[in-house]
Amino acid sequence: MPRLTRKYSSAIDLLQSLQLPLSGNQEEIYDRLNQQSYYWDSALKNWIKNDISPDSPTELIRVRVWADSRFVEVVAQDCIQSLASKGFRCVDKSEAFPCRPPKQLESRIYLSFQKESNGSVLLSGSVVLGSKKSS
């Protein structure tokens, strides 16, 4: 039995008022509310109905490359080449940003890609980033 937190007990109350099933574990109950456009506002300690229409999704693919500072540039170039072979063009590449301690030996590079005009589509799981293996 999950701990009876304010979030959980109010989720049960809300599900009952919406006449939705109460079955499942804590995460399934929260997911059910999320599917109904409710989200938990931890500051207000209440479930809030999201009535805002969603924005259109971005046409960009954004990738954060996080690796050992000695190799981050190489891994970023591998990522660029891999996505280019799938029909995506790199439209933005940041400089390498060093991480804060205790991760100071690692760095991050941010990449933005856009689909080429030929209509290529990246299939989920078809690219293993940072590897020499291609599918």
How many helices (H) and strands (E) the chain has is answered by 3, 6
Structure tokens, 41: 């506002």
| Residue range 60-115 in CATH 3.30.1490 | yes
pLDDT tens-digit readout, 66-123 = 999 999 999 999 999 999 999 999 999 999 999 999 999 999 999 999 998 755 444 4
pLDDT tens-digit readout, 47-79 = 999 988 889 999 999 999 999 999 999 999 999
Question: What is the domain partition of the chain in residue ranges?
Answer: 6-49, 60-115
